[in-house]
Amino acid sequence: MFKHLNEEIDAIMARDPAARSRLEVVLCYPGLHAILLHRLAHCAWQSGWLLIGRGLSQCGRLLTGIEIHPGAKIGRRFFIDHGMGVVIGETAEIGDGVQLYHGVTLGGTSLARGKRHPTVQDGVVIGAGAKVLGAITIGKDARIGSNAVVVADVPPAATMVGIPAREVTPRDQRSARDFLPYGTPCCDLPDPAARAVRELKAQIAALRERIEMLEQERSGPSAAAIGGADAIRNRPPEGGMDPTPTC
């Protein structure tokens, strides 16, 4: 149960520059405390000691502010940074090398007894406050931005932001393995709403230009006709005399 403890500590040391020593991680990191208590609770749950498993889960919640159902399946090198307010449901499945930040919810959207919580594959980073809901799959090396709400499957190596979450950067398997704090790109982040507004403005400008062209085409012949009628009325007779009578 604790044979991978060194890997858990190494993962924290690698991903948190604030960690000064392994002893500090062991004594002061609630994310590590929560996962160790979950390992105990999960072992009891699998052994059929359901009440003991729930009791250990509640102890972990009281001590760390992190609520992990004892039925959840969690892989190796799992790191919850800061941790307060994290909720992981009963049928959630989490792969290896996954990182969560505070306020993350892996929740269910069904009252059915079967699979109703997300499956998070290896290498995923889920930013602070993100909500991943339902029996969906978050693909390997995906990034979920802070406060995103994910209700559909996410492809591998995708970066998702917004409510509902949308993919905002091209999938690059090589760069996806690079660590992205909070799962959110902070430079050159495309805004789908701003892009839609720009496209709408461009269409309005094109329509305005077209309307002006049509108005010019419509008014051109009329102006020429009016000018021709005036010239005919003002033209002198063939004798060269001015038809206007004089006194």
pLDDT digits (tens, 9 = 90+) for 78-124: 999 888 899 999 999 999 989 999 999 999 888 888 899 999 999 99
Structural domain including 222 reads 191-235
The number of folded domains in the chain is 2
Assess whether 33 and 150 both reside in one domain.
yes
Assess whether 147 and 222 both reside in one domain.
no
> φ and ψ at 25, to 5 degrees?
-60, -45
DSSP conformation class of 237: P
Assess whether 226 and 136 both reside in one domain.
no
In a domain, 25, yes or no: yes
Q: Which of 134-138, 177-181, 187-191 has the highest mean pLDDT?
A: 134-138
pLDDT at 180: 62
pLDDT at 86: 93
**Among 52-56, 143-147, 217-221, the least confident range:** 217-221
Beta bridge partners of 87: 67, 105
Q: Give the residue among 160, 158, 163, 150 at the shortest CA–CA distance from 117.
A: 150
In a domain, 242, yes or no: no
In a domain, 247, yes or no: no
pLDDT at 110: 81
In a domain, 112, yes or no: yes
Assess whether 105 and 47 both reside in one domain.
yes
Q: Is residue 244 pLDDT above 80, yes or no?
A: no
Assess whether 118 and 227 both reside in one domain.
no
In a domain, 241, yes or no: no
pLDDT at 198: 85
b/e map 132-166, b = 16+ CB within 10 Å: bbbbbbbbbbbbbbbbbbbeeebebbbbbbbeebb
d(CA 104, CA 119): 14
Question: What's the angle, vertex CA 87, arms to CA 82 and CA 90, rounded to 5?
Answer: 140
Assess whether 87 and 49 both reside in one domain.
yes
Give me the percent of the chain exceeding a pLDDT of 70: 77
**Which is higher by pLDDT, 224 or 54?**
54
Q: Give the residue among 141, 39, 155, 160 at the shortest CA–CA distance from 99.
A: 141
pTM over 0.85: no
pLDDT at 228: 57
In whole numbers, what is the pLDDT of the chain averaged over residues? 82
Assess whether 27 and 109 both reside in one domain.
yes
Assess whether 35 and 151 both reside in one domain.
yes
pLDDT at 20: 86
Reported confidence tier of residue 215, pLDDT bands at 50, 70, 90: confident
